Amino acid sequence: MELLADQLRTYPIMALFLCLGFGYGVGKFRVGKFELGGIAGTLLVAVFVGQIGGINLSTDVQNVFFSLFIFMVGYNGGPQFFAALNRTALTKLLAAFMMTLWGLFFVIVVARWAGLDKGLAAGLAAGGLTQSAIIGTAGNAIDLLGLAADEAEKLKTNIAVGYSVTYIFGSIGPILAVSVIPIIMKWNLREEALKLAQKLSGGGRNLEEGEFLPMNRFDARAYRVQDGAQIVGQSVKEIEAGFDEDILVERLLQDGVAVDAAPDTKVSAGDLVVVSGLVSGLAKFESSAGSEVGEIPPEMVIVEERRNVVITNPKLAGKTLIQLREAISADQRRGVYISKITRTGHDVPVLHNTEIHAGDEVSIVGHKDDLNRAAKFAGYVPPSASVTNFIALGIGVAVGYLVGEISFVIAGTKVALGSGLGCLVTGLIIGYLRTRRPKIGGINRGAANFLQSFGLAVFVGVVGLNAGQPALQAIQEYGITLLLLGVVVTLMPMIVQFPINYIALRIRNPIEACAVVTGSRSGNPGFATLLEKAGNSTPTPAFTMTYAVANIFLTLWGPLVVAFVP
């Protein structure tokens, strides 16, 4: 063991990656619906490994990776954050903001009442409100207080302590909320989710679990046209118009000869017709054409393409899918079908009344030429996995440090924004601008998500290793007190805000009401529980909107906690 300890002291980077590996392993253990998560697991393992002593990593390492993390938080959340600033989303936006404000209020109140120092209070906020970014923004604020090095280091160690003690219940709290609120309100979430799906689908029949999933929307099939069929004698253009462009006639086999489906080509009895389009449209087509054919000749095989497009056209943002059909001409949308919508990393149900937001990544299917036309009209195709705009990344982080120099006085204390909040602001701006000017800040979503996750993991790993033995001593001294205070900080904002949401803000749909609570608390475990109870993805739009807002404002509260706690 001593040999291993010497190796870790000699190669602290090895210790860091060891903490990452074991931390994410620990984070995968589940107790019921609760999962600790890789970030909290990494911090706990790093604090444990730090007991060896003498493992010192430069604070420059944690600063670099925190800057990457916080910039990507803004970059990923920028489009959705600004998209939420509209009238239709105003009540949900306000609900999310008020929830974060209550969180700040209860942190400050209980911290002052219990006599916690600035570090423990910030850790209480980070863990009780499950916003890991507060560790960094509060740490930046402490660095700017002009304290002695030892005192500042102790406060930053206490941030890690407060976080590690309160995070577990902070994650459990939203799970309890989506479990208890429906009982109190006498809601059946599964039934309410089906009702909401029916509403979003434009009044169609109730959908069972999974029936409306995006992968089921588009297909291609072959039909043998029967004598007396409705489409006999009609041209390709007339057939497609009769089905409101929900289908596309791809190819015909007439008298054994493959024929391209030109607009004026007429269909005769006995023809083999290959049709692509929405599954609902294909079902209607079969009743108008004839029986489906299972096997078709090789010359009738068609090839389709799937492409992701980021929505930037302001004419599309804020409209539902059914409104888009009315706003876009038949020629413009011919042969193009939406198969999937992703918003801030979450799949959104593809239904008639689903709204499209700026920054949504929409998966469309069709032929290459049709997709090129649609992509140019709707937005831009995101860069491939191997492409990242390092100009935007480098300049964005650099400017973020300059923005972080802005300072003001709160409660008699000079508080600067700090590099963390500065990088968050520039990330938000660049993330938003890329939806307006596609060539600005093109960072692949996968790369952005990796930098966000890895940046935070490295940051908390360095914090835990550098905290070392003082962290364990502080946990032993303050553990029970912090745990109980964390319960208050976790539960009280939800207890206070939910009646306000329901009565004053009139957020009364059960699914949306619960989604707003979990999103406003940045509660991913709670959201996962809500999805399971709902049985479909109808909670996703309300969650993603409020989650983006909560992430931004909770991160901003780090310096305020430092300013308002003595």
Is the pLDDT reported for residue 544 higher than 80?
A: no
Cα angle: 205, vertex 534, 540; to 5 degrees: 95
Tens digits of per-residue pLDDT, 346-363?
A: 677 787 788 888 778 888
Average pLDDT for 98-110:
95
Is the pLDDT reported for residue 215 higher than 50?
A: no
- CA dihedral 546→549→552→556, nearest 10 degrees, is -100
What pLDDT, on a 0 to 100 scale, did the predictor assign at position 500? Answer: 95
Q: Classify 224 as helix, strand or coil.
A: strand
d(CA 135, CA 194): 40
Q: Nearest CA to 348 among 214, 199, 193, 496?
A: 214
Tens digits of per-residue pLDDT, 3-42?
A: 888 888 888 889 889 989 998 888 787 766 556 677 778 8
Tokens matching residue 250: 């791809």
Reported confidence tier of residue 112, pLDDT bands at 50, 70, 90: very high
Lowest mean pLDDT among 167-171, 236-240, 307-311: 167-171
Reported confidence tier of residue 204, pLDDT bands at 50, 70, 90: very low
What pLDDT, on a 0 to 100 scale, did the predictor assign at position 439? Answer: 61
d(CA 457, CA 66): 9
Is the pLDDT reported for residue 214 higher than 50?
A: no
Lowest mean pLDDT among 164-173, 254-263, 433-442, 477-486: 433-442
Q: How distant is the alpha carbon of residue 241 from its chain centre?
A: 38
Cα angle: 248, vertex 254, 257; to 5 degrees: 105
Residues 285, 301: contact at Cβ < 8 Å? no
Mark out the alpha helices in 437-539 (DSSP H runs).
Answer: 445-499, 510-520, 524-534
Q: Nearest CA to 199 among 58, 320, 89?
A: 320
Is the pLDDT reported for residue 85 higher than 70?
A: no
> pTM here?
0.65
Q: What mean pLDDT value characterizes the chain?
A: 81
Average pLDDT for 242-254:
83
The secondary structure element, H or E, covering residue 346 is strand 346-348
For residue 308, list its beta bridge partners.
363
